[in-house]
Amino acid sequence: MSFDLNSTYFNQFLLLVRDHATLLTFVSVALFALLRDDKALRYAALCAAFYVIGYFSFPLIKQVDADLYVIRYVYWALSDIVFMAILAVWALRDKVYLWQSVLAQLIVLPAPIMQLFRLVDRHYLDLSYSTYLYKSILPLVNILTVILCFLPVLYLLKNRVNQLQVKG
């Protein structure tokens, strides 16, 4: 059995995650609350909080920045940097899984870079180099961030299987 990145099912899965990211983060919060995994719960709750903040701040930022098209990119870049900073501090304090924090840092890092590149490219140089990158990289960052909310389930299942093997 092979895995095809161009398959219809895989593309539908990516669209589902992209279109329902906020809802999926809340599902992961509920899941890890039930499983009593505080580290995974903290990461999922942080993702959910940032999605909710993003959802409610989006119209306001667009309205405030209706003419300049500068504030939005700086705001969104700073939002990503704050997300990464919180995760880094929590990882150092052993409040989230270190591996999950490192993966999240690597996944989210292109987002603020892309926001600032978009600002410079589109508004200071009056070019359009960033258009395709912006429309492909940012959704991918969001999709991977949400998928990362659910990866601790695999970690928990692996530990449960190992516990059963030791007992049996």
pLDDT digit string (tens) for 81-99? 999 999 999 999 999 999 9
Query: Per the domain annotation, does 11 fall within a domain?
Result: no
- The number of domains in the chain is 1
Query: Per the domain annotation, does 2 fall within a domain?
Result: no
pLDDT at 160: 86
For the stretch 34-91, pLDDT in tens is: 999 999 999 999 999 999 999 999 999 999 999 888 999 999 999 999 999 999 999 9
Residues 6+ apart with CB under 8 A from 98: 91
Instruction: Find the mean pLDDT for residues 121-145.
Output: 88
String of b and e for 43-65 (b: at least 16 CB within 10 Å)? bbbbbbebbeebeeeeeebeeee
Query: Per the domain annotation, does 148 fall within a domain?
Result: yes
pLDDT of 9 > 90? The answer is: no
Mean pLDDT of all residues belonging to the chain: 92
Query: Per the domain annotation, does 122 fall within a domain?
Result: yes
In this structure, the dihedral spanned by the alpha carbons of residues 139, 140, 145 and 146, taken in order and rounded to 10 degrees, is 70
Closest CA to 151 of 31, 21, 13: 31
Domain range for 29 is 16-166
Who has greater pLDDT, 61 or 7? 61
C-alpha–C-alpha distance, residues 90 and 6, integer Å: 37
DSSP state letter for 67: T
Query: Per the domain annotation, does 162 fall within a domain?
Result: yes
